[in-house]
A = this chain, B = another copy of it.
């Protein structure tokens, strides 16, 4: 047998791996749901969800890198006459 017939050791290993992944995926999904709830809570308090997402994304970037990117963008924008304000 090639090692993957039913009940073989390899089959068991595979099943266990798949089940571990599924368990972890469920946990992750639960957290994703929690995150969604926080955004909804923010929205209910009057905050704009999209802007909140931008904030979170920006804070993930190291300040120096973020500012460097921003300056480059402003340089380019100015060059082609795009007003970022």
Q: Which residues of A contact B (CB under 8 A)?
A: 2, 4-6, 8, 10-11, 13-15, 17-18, 20-22, 24-25, 27-28, 31-32, 34-35, 38-39, 41-42, 45-48, 50-52, 54-56, 58-59, 63, 66-67, 69-70, 72-73, 75-85
Contacts and interface: CB of A to CB of B under 8 A. Distances in A.
Given A25-B35, A38-B20, A73 B55 contact: yes
Contacts of A76: 4, 14, 47-48, 51-52, 55
A39 to B, nearest CB: 7
Contacts of A80: 11, 14-15, 18, 55
A35 B24 CA distance: 7
